[in-house]
Structure 1
Amino acid sequence: MRRRTATLKRCVAAAMADILRQGSAPISARGNQMGLTTVRQTRRQHVRSLTLAMAMIASAAWSRASPAQVRDVAPLPPLAQRLPAVPSVVSTFAGSDGPGRKGGTIEMLVGSERETRVMTLLGYARLVAFGTDLALRPDILESYTVEEGRRFTFRLRPGHRWSDGHPFTAEDFRFWWEDVANNRDLNPNGPSVEMLVEGRPPVFDVVDDRTVRFTWHAPNPYFLEAQARALPLFIYRPAHYLRQFHARYAEPAALQAAMKRFQVQDWMRLHHRLDQMYVNDNPDMPSLLAWIPKTRLPSMRLIFERNPYYHRIDAQGVQLPYIDRVILNVVSPSVIPLKAGTGEAGLQAIYLRFDNYTYLKKGSKNFPFEVYLWETGTGSELALYPNFNHVDPVLRALFRDVRFRRALSLAIDREEINEAVFLGLARPSNNTVRPDSALYRPEYGEKWTTFDPQHANRLLDDIGLTRRGRDIRRLPNGRPLELIVEMAGDTKEQTDILNLIASTWRQVGIKMVYRNHARDLFRKRVFAGQTMIAVWAGVENAMPTSNSSPREFVPATQGDLQWPQWGLYRESNGKAGEPSDLPEVQRLIDLLGKWERATGEADQRAVWHELLAAHADQQFTIGVIAGSRQPIVVSRRLRNVPRTGIYSWHPGAYFGIYRPDTFWLQDAAPSKP
């Protein structure tokens, strides 16, 4: 081990010397831009090598650390003392290979050590959780009740404990509500929007040690679903851990010492740094998830181990998760498809695209893995967002004209795109809900999507966009009708789709070019009204039920790419942005208010159908293709992973909805109960 560490140290010294040499290297005589780029790229490569070597030295030092340097692990109590008195019993398995056996390790590939949040999705455990039927059921909670849509009573499982063995109680909810959400030092803006109805917070009550209640003056239809999201509204915290970093509870001297240790200037930054429920990168913070972090950053190998106090068991009484350990290996994102194709991942989807499928399938013939193709869960693989708030009054008027948006849609040959880019495996569609949604109607997906350049030409003529022969049409002010489509982070699939759209738009006299920007610049340009048409994925929740939030279909936030100023106006309660002045859009806003006030499912469903019909007819956004395929690499030893599924952020948390805690490894060495 000493010899290996010495070798690594020599590598570090060599890398440092190379970096210093590159720092003084002359700029290429062929031009400053080219030479400087070369030097920067070379230096970045050496910095990466240096970082990796230093991480390996740290790892080697850790591996030979004495027992006193490694945190002592106390013997665990028997299983009966670690489980809640009323555990959650899992009796169905998404892959039909259950129940399984305990033991083993799976490895996954990530592009950054900051992607520890992957484990918050893989270990999908929420107060209430979506099932594969999209129904909400108690999960961490033993039960809950909702009265009049405004009074929510949550009942905790008796004997449930955090991953460190400390009881999980109503105090963890009280601490969050009083000392985090409503602490003006930690949260100057107060509780999140899901906790407010007409700007008013709920009354919070601790009924007993296992029961809490939130009561609003009017229905809050967002609250329950917010608990089940991929990024949930965490309304509890491990109070026994976080009090030591909170000014209300900690001794001043101890708090100052912690601030010095973590190199932060005030206790608020200290608390924010360690309160990482979603990011999931703090090994000291107790958790309720299936696997808990064991690695301190920085590291190129992130280890998560099973939570010994986890609340789920199978019907045979075996505590989940079955798999003992999940390891996230940090590599360059560009090589993840290559490594996945040589068997270096036991389960992999992130950073894989459909155009990797052929390579991955070939790799599966030589390495022990399979490649499944799941459907993507967004409303459209790629959608076009005309900017209703563009700064140019001529373009703004054009994008607000429904005839123009319909013409753009009719001039897209979706069948050609499906065959050329997705091998015919996807389906032409508007940006709307999926066919397996209970709210779907065929006209929502099909209206104005048939390729019909003649009809598109008639609509463009009616608007007054003149054309001579096969020339580019002219705007009312005489300028050529040239549309610039902007995106953030282009992929081969995106550029292939846009090239095909540009070709068919050119047939109706519209010139289209596309540009790629860094994400921050992309959003700034959209918000400033400088982007004509933005490219992004379609609606996030394409599998809604009647009680799902329809905010994606209504101006709600500045992040709405087609109407950022109208969204900002509503997000800020009129303090910024602009009020909508388009009657068709104002109707959407009115419908959202109607849905929020509804107390019955039938009323909510009626609102949903009117919203979806309006979007199909008005083409507020222009969908292209839905149901494209996401490659999933699965080790042949890994069981209970379904061969077909929906790969969706919400609802679903990608793998999460299929309960990865029930995935298990064939031939794994059995672990302790």
Structure 2
Amino acid sequence: MSGKKSRRDLLTLGATVGGTLLLGGCDFLATDPSRDDSPGRGTSAGERQTEIEAPTLAQRVKAGDLPPLKERLPDQPRVIQPVERLGTYGGTWRNALIGSDVNSIIGTWKYDPLVMWDRKWENVVPNVAENVEISGGGREYLFTLRRGMKWSDGEPLTADDIMFWYEAVFKNKELTPVISNWLQFGGEPLLAEKVDDYKVRFSFAQPYALFLQQLADWDPIVELLPSHYLKQFHKDHNPEIDALVKKEKLSSWVDLWYLRTDIYNNTELPTHRGWRLTNGLSSGDRVVYDRNPYYFAVDPQGRQLPYIDRITYQIFNQDEVLILRAASGEIDMYHHDPIANPRNRPVLARDAERGGYKLWRMRDTQMNAMGICLNLTHKDPVKRSMYQNKDFRIALSYAINRPEIIKAVYQRQGKPWQTAPRPEVPFYDSDDIGTQYTEYDLDRANEHLDKTGYQERSSGGIRLDPNGNPIAITVLTDVRYFEMADVLQLMKGSWREVGIDLRIENLDTSLYGPRKQTGDYDCTTDIGEYGSKGMILDPRWLFATSGSSFAPLWSNWYEGATPSEEPPEPMKRQMAIYHDEVEGSLDLEARYEGMRKIIEIARDEFWTMGISLPAQSVALVKNNFHNVPKDMWYSTSWPTPGPSNICQYFITEE
């Protein structure tokens, strides 16, 4: 533990924390706006804008339908520095979704937590919270909300809303049957205490150095809930809840709760974000969010944000259609698949001038284009024993022709790589874990398979398991990552060469997730997220934790869920190191050293395998769409593009 763990740090606007809570060599929490994001150009008096709010809102104020701006803003609004220059009001951001995949919404509209990452992914900065006091060496966090801040319906946002989450959701066994490891430390769950109307103190039994980073993640572990609206849908606050459940024709109050807290469909749900939902995901072919008149942020001249009036997410069921619409200039800014897929880049690059857009390179944090996870806790004891055999996994890795896959599927972009930290991560300076067993060598593959004892083969050349059955591995894939099926088709031939029958089960996204949750599968594939700084927050590829699919029962053991199974000793060491030396240490180098130990064990055990470092990711940005940083990270932990402050994006006439 850090020798400074008892030091009290007061983090307020204009003050910065000392060198004990760090990430990547930079301050852990910074609150000076000038340090948050570089000041934008064009803020001189000569360029001063005259309007202080969107014209549509000014008209409503004049008509008496809306209070004046001063009454809608908090006493101390958050000041957002623009990336390029001050923006103009108006316009619709034409965005997109593929089917029911809401990732585009999560990284754009949804990202507006208590504290958030800055644009450089160096500091955690205040957002809804005006400031944070850290004491007890990281055991206590006192959040002060913005006095006078309001929900989108004009009701006050106060400490009661956070306490409502704590009492009604976090402590409710029906809504939170299992407490995440991220919300309990030292064997005791998080404690929350209301200090006054705008202050809440969170306490842990042990120092929790990563708490603020977890709050700034794509799915914050503490929710902001409008208690004044949601109390009517909670059994502890509404004695008539049963009648309401019956009226809605639902089976339980829990179903009613999830229906009313659905941020993608419930247009009545108040929000604190820059836009409010006006057309839900299940209401047609577009999701629509319109300007929130009570948003709490302003630009350096005190003009209320956001600049853009509306965000629309057109729903596409086919990647090809989205690509065609993007190429014709009908998408304003988008960065997910299929835009980011290297296969589509030639088409998009060819039509960029005609479509009036550019493709901007992003700083990728994914460590693999495709991770492969055998189910090490398979319910079939024969398959479990097979998959847990390290020689079996090594053999399968040697039997993957990665150069061929990179050439044929990834447009010659990439490098053979395992599910390992990216080469540039600050806490591991070797590529041995990334390059091991990546050679395409069928002789070595056969040697390792012979070591396992599966030497007998069927008449068709497939190896037989101890029960005399041909060894067949069914691999689940998600249709949204269509190139993974192409990769598996190539692997199918090379695995057959060494006597393994690979079968492909390509599932719709709506089926893929639930199937993974059952744990009833042989093998899964997924994109290799969390390969850079985010690996400290989410080490799912290093050992079995929340989000891992290579050992669901071991993951449940770590998370305290059921059914579960105690992991082997090497993984238990990883889990202990992560808890004590990474999550619990306030010292940066100690955390890095803990990560190195965890990575070394992952290298030796070889739990999972990968194909290639991903190709360069790009974002599509229209020429008249402004204030988007040109060096954005492409990450889930830095929820692209949320920390770039999308409220300061603006659109000009073409």
**What TM-score, normalized by structure 2, do the two folds share?**
0.78
Shift in alpha-carbon separation, 1:665–1:513, aligned structure 2, 3 A: same
Select which of 129, 143, 146 maps to 1:154. Answer: 143
- Aligned residue type for 1:160: M
Select which of 574, 579, 601 maps to 1:614. Answer: 601
- 1:532 equivalent in structure 2: 522
- 1:33 equivalent in structure 2: none
User: Is the CA contact 2:477–2:485 (under 8 Å) kept in the aligned structure 1?
Assistant: no
Shift in alpha-carbon separation, 1:545–1:333, aligned structure 2, 3 A: closer
Select which of 415, 423, 441 maps to 1:435. Answer: 423
- Aligned residue type for 1:497: V
Select which of 626, 629, 639 maps to 1:653. Answer: 639
Shift in alpha-carbon separation, 1:209–1:110, aligned structure 2, 3 A: same
Q: Quick check: which has more Rg, 1 or 2? A: 1
Aligned length: 584
Q: How does 1:140-539 map to 2 (within 5 A)?
A: 140-147=128-135, 148-183=137-172, 187=175, 189=177, 193-197=181-185, 200-221=188-209, 223-246=211-234, 249=237, 252=240, 262-264=248-250, 268-276=254-262, 279-295=263-279, 298-334=283-319, 335-350=321-336, 352=338, 353-374=341-362, 377-441=365-429, 442-466=431-455, 472=461, 474-475=463-464, 477=466, 482-490=471-479, 491-506=481-496, 508=498, 510-517=500-507, 531-538=521-528
Structure 2 CA distance for aligned equivalents of residues 198 and 437 of structure 1: 28
Structure 1 CA distance for aligned equivalents of residues 335 and 213 of structure 2: 25
- 1:542 equivalent in structure 2: 531
Shift in alpha-carbon separation, 1:256–1:456, aligned structure 2, 3 A: closer
Structure 2 CA distance for aligned equivalents of residues 523 and 264 of structure 1: 24
Structure 2 CA distance for aligned equivalents of residues 591 and 284 of structure 1: 45
Paired residue secondary structure (1:176): helix
1:125: Cα distance to partner? 1.1
Shift in alpha-carbon separation, 1:221–1:280, aligned structure 2, 3 A: farther
1:382: Cα distance to partner? 0.7
Name structure 1 gaps, 5 residues minimum. 1-69, 669-673
- 1:579 equivalent in structure 2: 566
Paired residue secondary structure (2:150): coil
Paired residue secondary structure (1:286): coil
- Aligned residue type for 1:380: N
Shift in alpha-carbon separation, 1:115–1:569, aligned structure 2, 3 A: closer
Paired residue secondary structure (1:381): strand
Structure 1 CA distance for aligned equivalents of residues 233 and 317 of structure 2: 35
- Aligned residue type for 1:424: R
- 1:44 equivalent in structure 2: none
1:509: Cα distance to partner? 5.2
Shift in alpha-carbon separation, 1:204–1:474, aligned structure 2, 3 A: closer
Paired residue secondary structure (1:588): helix
User: Is the CA contact 1:174–1:206 (under 8 Å) kept in the aligned structure 2?
Assistant: yes
Structure 1 stretch 636-645 or stretch 470-479: which is displaced more? Answer: 470-479
Structure 2 CA distance for aligned equivalents of residues 525 and 299 of structure 1: 27
Structure 1 CA distance for aligned equivalents of residues 314 and 507 of structure 2: 29
Question: In proportion to residue count, which structure has more helix?
Answer: 1
Structure 1 stretch 207-216 or stretch 505-514: which is displaced more? Answer: 505-514
Structure 2 CA distance for aligned equivalents of residues 622 and 616 of structure 1: 10
Structure 2 CA distance for aligned equivalents of residues 219 and 293 of structure 1: 38
User: Is the CA contact 1:433–1:544 (under 8 Å) kept in the aligned structure 2?
Assistant: no
Work out whether 1:567 is the aligned partner of 2:555.
yes
Paired residue secondary structure (1:537): strand
- 2:587 equivalent in structure 1: 600
Shift in alpha-carbon separation, 1:375–1:509, aligned structure 2, 3 A: farther
User: Is the CA contact 1:373–1:629 (under 8 Å) kept in the aligned structure 2?
Assistant: yes
Select which of 75, 79, 85 maps to 1:85. Answer: 75
For the aligned residue pairs, the C-alpha RMSD in angstroms reads 3.6
User: Is the CA contact 1:373–1:632 (under 8 Å) kept in the aligned structure 2?
Assistant: yes
1:599: Cα distance to partner? 4.6
- Aligned residue type for 2:643: I
Structure 1 stretch 262-271 or stretch 483-492: which is displaced more? Answer: 262-271
User: Is the CA contact 2:377–2:552 (under 8 Å) kept in the aligned structure 1?
Assistant: yes
Deviations 1:210-267 (A, max 9, x none): 2110112223456433322222234332222233444555585xx6886677555665
Paired residue secondary structure (1:294): strand
1:609: Cα distance to partner? 0.8
**What TM-score, normalized by structure 1, do the two folds share?**
0.76
User: Is the CA contact 1:382–1:623 (under 8 Å) kept in the aligned structure 2?
Assistant: yes
- 1:102 equivalent in structure 2: 89
1:325: Cα distance to partner? 1.2
User: Is the CA contact 2:325–2:331 (under 8 Å) kept in the aligned structure 1?
Assistant: yes
Structure 1 stretch 231-240 or stretch 166-175: which is displaced more? Answer: 231-240
Structure 2 CA distance for aligned equivalents of residues 405 and 168 of structure 1: 52
1:619: Cα distance to partner? 1.9
Paired residue secondary structure (2:188): coil
Deviations 1:615-672 (A, max 9, x none): 2333210011122344533222112234454332x2122322332222211238xxxx
Deviations 1:297-354 (A, max 9, x none): 6243433222233232333333322211112233434532332233322223445243
User: Is the CA contact 1:406–1:618 (under 8 Å) kept in the aligned structure 2?
Assistant: no
- 2:612 equivalent in structure 1: 625
Shift in alpha-carbon separation, 1:458–1:214, aligned structure 2, 3 A: same
User: Is the CA contact 2:93–2:310 (under 8 Å) kept in the aligned structure 1?
Assistant: yes
Shift in alpha-carbon separation, 1:308–1:426, aligned structure 2, 3 A: farther
Structure 2 CA distance for aligned equivalents of residues 621 and 655 of structure 1: 29
- 1:38 equivalent in structure 2: none
Structure 2 CA distance for aligned equivalents of residues 318 and 402 of structure 1: 60
User: Is the CA contact 2:386–2:392 (under 8 Å) kept in the aligned structure 1?
Assistant: yes
Deviations 1:491-515 (A, max 9, x none): 5411322233334445555453433
User: Is the CA contact 2:574–2:598 (under 8 Å) kept in the aligned structure 1?
Assistant: yes
User: Is the CA contact 2:372–2:610 (under 8 Å) kept in the aligned structure 1?
Assistant: yes
- 1:23 equivalent in structure 2: none
Shift in alpha-carbon separation, 1:426–1:234, aligned structure 2, 3 A: same
User: Is the CA contact 1:104–1:324 (under 8 Å) kept in the aligned structure 2?
Assistant: yes
Structure 2 CA distance for aligned equivalents of residues 111 and 476 of structure 1: 40
Shift in alpha-carbon separation, 1:247–1:542, aligned structure 2, 3 A: same
Structure 1 stretch 655-664 or stretch 188-197: which is displaced more? Answer: 188-197
User: Is the CA contact 2:260–2:269 (under 8 Å) kept in the aligned structure 1?
Assistant: yes
Shift in alpha-carbon separation, 1:600–1:374, aligned structure 2, 3 A: closer
User: Is the CA contact 1:98–1:662 (under 8 Å) kept in the aligned structure 2?
Assistant: no
Structure 2 CA distance for aligned equivalents of residues 375 and 480 of structure 1: 46
Percent identity at matched positions?
Answer: 27
Select which of 608, 632, 639 maps to 2:626. Answer: 639
